[in-house]
Structure 1
């Protein structure tokens, strides 16, 4: 009888372990399935955004000024935001004042802002001359770093994290405002995100928020100056222009709450090696939540 009881107890333990393993594997499989489904739904959001940006009907064409677009897709809800890269600050051509103002807008004092501005310019220029607050190879060596500035244009936005004086906290705060794809010295206010607008000298938080609210209330196809608003200094804000390069953030949320966000920079036009009418320049795949 004792032996039988021990065998029954052992069988109960084995069955319980098997049930736990089966449940764990089922949950893992479900999570993987949901994450994959959400990822492809988010990809659909990017594809639709690119299609709508080239819509021949200007009254239906999506506008790349950060305004939200949301639509149902295969049981999921897809939320898309598009920003024209011309609205951002190009690290390779931005002048000292724009860069310094950008860093001051996130709370850095003038000395720290000047240092980062000059260090960025020393990184990208072709010479080894140190700007007044900048850094070339000797300064990197003195800081204990085993690398120095490339003395060449930035190839990616994340490369700026290697600049002397930059840290991850500062980078995360300026990342929405910077690019390497616009080629413009100053951001185009018709498409600029809040962080980039704040880098315009004389800009206030209230005016930046007002610019975003007014321009996003403009219907698609609107051209000309945005009435009732002007940049500091009196320049008009033109609801036109822009480039063919876009940052697209697409978040897909399933009915059970699982979501995933994709963040891509895409250049439209031409034909890529994959046969698609656009080229992916940057791709960041978010984690499922």
Structure 2
């Protein structure tokens, strides 16, 4: 009897030992998994930070190249890619002079209508959209043929009326009646509020801008950009595109959109999309940021 009880106690003790060992194994495993996860998260965060600062380095390199006094080696701001390596990362910088874009506050009605029509929007509907844009920014309360003023906005359920003042930013366009987000995303690369020009400088115009010009097809725009980006001499003449439109590399502005993308060896990257205006500021920097957007990716 005593022997049986002793065997039972030993069996219970063995089971307890096994359960404790299993529990310790689980705890040790969870600690190991937690440490591995934290290490992985730290590595990802470090790489994100590194890529972002390298992308900022690309933006500053772009400013340096734009200030290059030698026109023969100065980077051309027509959207072409400029590639270089820094600290093991591949950095691609694209610069677009804002004088090549359509200024929402200054552009002609013809150019704005052409921009919407280039999306395949019916011509009459495109005219209506432009009428609403013009009513949004003009100071009067007179309604254009297909335009919209305060009462039209409130009747349509908007919480705001027409601004009756110039656009301060391009995204403000989404607030205009009839301009949905999908349409905005398609035309946003063509627009600016910083050029102050009624027309566009073809030397720096993106594809979306070229397509807004009457008679210019997608094939013509692509061919023009290909020929333009083959030019290395800023004194060279541009290819012929359309009557009434011209441009030259030496005739740009002082405001530039810069996209800087830094890709690490593990393919993790960060991309900065900023608009800068050349000229010093109170902090002693050679440029001023007027728009900034960045995204980090794995």
Q: Structure 1 stretch 251-260 or stretch 91-100: which is displaced more?
A: 91-100
Match of 1:275? Answer: 284
Cα offsets for 1:28-80 (capped at 9, x unmatched): 11111000000010001110111111111111100001111000001101000
SS at match of 1:71: strand
Question: How many Å separate the matches in 1 of 2:233 and 2:46?
Answer: 37
Q: 1:235 to 1:243 in 2, by over 3 A?
A: closer
Match of 1:211? Answer: 224
Q: 1:108 to 1:62 in 2, by over 3 A?
A: same
Question: How many Å separate the matches in 2 of 1:235 and 1:87?
Answer: 11
Q: 1:188 to 1:237 in 2, by over 3 A?
A: closer
Question: How many Å separate the matches in 1 of 2:87 and 2:258?
Answer: 20
Question: How many Å separate the matches in 1 of 2:174 and 2:244?
Answer: 35
C-alpha contact (below 8 Å) 1:161/1:168 kept by paired residues: yes
Match of 1:249? Answer: 259
Q: 1:101 to 1:253 in 2, by over 3 A?
A: same
C-alpha contact (below 8 Å) 1:231/1:237 kept by paired residues: no
SS at match of 1:247: strand
Match of 1:80? Answer: 93
TM-score by length of 2: 0.92
Match of 2:115? Answer: 102
TM-score by length of 1: 0.95
SS at match of 2:85: strand
Q: What is the CA-CA distance between 1:237 and the residue it aligns to? A: 4.5
C-alpha contact (below 8 Å) 2:201/2:246 kept by paired residues: no
Match of 2:272? Answer: 262
Question: How many Å separate the matches in 2 of 1:284 and 1:278?
Answer: 17
Equivalent residue for 1:286, pick from 275, 286, 295: 295
Match of 1:168? Answer: 181
Match of 1:141? Answer: 154
Any residues of structure 2 matched to 1:11-26 within 5 Å, and which? 11-26=24-39
Q: Show structure 1 runs of 5+ residues with no match.
A: none
Match of 1:65? Answer: 78
**Which structure has the bigger radius of gyration?**
2
Q: Structure 1 stretch 242-251 or stretch 50-59: which is displaced more?
A: 50-59
Q: 1:87 to 1:235 in 2, by over 3 A?
A: closer
SS at match of 1:184: coil
Cα offsets for 1:236-289 (capped at 9, x unmatched): 5434311011000000000111101100100112x2122101110001011223
Indicate whether 1:230 and 2:230 are aligned.
Answer: no
Question: How many Å separate the matches in 2 of 1:74 and 1:236?
Answer: 41
C-alpha contact (below 8 Å) 1:215/1:239 kept by paired residues: no
Q: Show structure 2 runs of 5+ residues with no match.
A: 1-13
Question: How many Å separate the matches in 1 of 2:37 and 2:153?
Answer: 50
Q: RMSD across aligned C-alpha pairs, in angstroms?
A: 1.3
SS at match of 1:272: coil
C-alpha contact (below 8 Å) 2:52/2:296 kept by paired residues: no
